[in-house]
Amino acid sequence: MLNLFKRKPQHPLTKAFEGATLSQKLSVINFLQLVATCDNQYAPHPEEGKLTTKFLEVFNLTVQQVVAHGNEKNRTFQNDLNALSLEQKEMLVIMAYAMASTDGWANEVELTYLNTSFEAIGIGENELMKIIIKYNELSQNF
């Protein structure tokens, strides 16, 4: 029984992306970097860097792996992201919205980018907004 309390709890993202391939996880991080810079702020907000570091730790990835994956010729993240399960896509919405709003709020450019990107992988605008609203309601309680 004491072992139950000593065990480190598994991060919800680790569990959600348990069946994802390495390529899918790398595409998730690369996509989140695109979200961070889609509003033409090439110097990321310090909180975006911290959030990226947390995501790298959860997925047990290195910056070098992510950069190499992003630099592959003809690399398309959409194929990897489209192959994610619905639960994984919903978690990706939360991760992307968290990234877009690290500076306090997601601006119009970021929201448009999220809408377009998620439409491309099967999450429509209505579903996207439902997930974001749930996330906001939950995060206001912490």
Domain extents in the chain: 21-139
Provide the CB-side half-sphere exposure for 104 (13 A, CA).
0
Kindly tell me if the per-residue pLDDT of 1 is higher than 60: no
Q: What is the mean pLDDT of residues 101-130?
A: 94
CATH 1.10.3680.10 is held by the domain 21-139: yes
Cα 130 to Cα 68, 93, 122, 127, 135, distances in angstroms: 34, 10, 14, 5, 9
pLDDT at position 126 over 80: yes
Arithmetic mean of pLDDT, 54-58? 95
Question: Residue 87: pLDDT band by 50, 70, 90 thresholds?
Answer: very high
C-alpha–C-alpha distance, residues 33 and 23, integer Å: 15
Residue 86 has pLDDT above 80, yes or no: yes
Residue 122 pLDDT more than 60? yes
How far is Cα 29 from Cα 92, in angstroms, rounded to an integer? Answer: 10
Residue 41, pLDDT score: 66
How many whole angstroms separate alpha carbon 101 and alpha carbon 95?
10
| Nearest alpha carbon to residue 122 among 69, 81, 91, 71 | 81
Of 60, 122, 56, the closest CA to residue 88 belongs to 122
| CA 74 – CA 142 distance, rounded (Å) | 42
Give percent of the chain above pLDDT 90.
65
Distance CA 108, CA 111 (A): 5
**Which has more pLDDT, 81 or 102?**
81
What pLDDT does 119 receive?
97
CA dist 100 and 47 (Å) reads 10
91 Cβ neighbours under 8 A, 6+ residues apart: 12, 13, 16, 17
